[in-house]
Amino acid sequence: MNSDPVPSPAIDVRNLQEFFRDAVHEALARQHVGVDDHTEHYVVNVLIMFARSDALFDQTRDGPRLKPLALMLADAADAPSSDQRSRTLQRLGDVSLFVAGFLSHGFARRLVDVDYHIAMGGRAYGTLADCCTHGTRGRALAGVFAELATKFQRLVDALNDVSEMSWR
């Protein structure tokens, strides 16, 4: 008798942005998480970006690898400019959000847990919110990053819903 699990049928997605927009919106509603439209749009874009594995993983001589969050934080601290520091912190936050929210099923086999990703991502976004105060774009992003920081855990829970729905 074959005990292999029956593969779930593939979801036919013709427009990834529409799929994630609808899925995130529904998950936020189910989780009773209210976020600004800009923040919701940002989260959808993170999912779209990391739908391509080459955007998530760094290419190394040993193949694609996910850079440890602690090394990303060290890179941000050592960044030669504030712009580079902000980009590195944003990547740290984005990777943390995606991994904790969308790939949490893999934490059972890992040395670090989801709480580590939540703490690192929330702090990265919080630091960005404090730094982005120049210009209209900077102030708009500061609001998004501040909301991502304060609602990070709840957004992770909503993305867990999206992930579970995607794997059904």
> What's the pTM value of the predicted model, to 2 decimals?
0.84
Q: Are 107 and 66 in contact (CB under 8 A)?
A: no
Q: What is the mean pLDDT of the chain?
A: 85
Query: Has residue 97 got a pLDDT over 50?
Result: yes
Q: What is the pLDDT of residue 38?
A: 94
39-53, 109-123, 139-153, range with the lowest pLDDT: 109-123
pLDDT above 90: residue 74: yes
pLDDT at position 54 is: 84
Please give the Cα distance from 89 to 128 (Å, whole number).
7
> How do residues 13-66 score in pLDDT, each as one tens digit?
568 899 999 999 999 999 999 999 999 999 999 999 998 888 888 888 888 888
* Max intra-chain CA distance, the chain: 65
Q: Tell how strand 58-60 and strand 63-65 pair up.
A: antiparallel
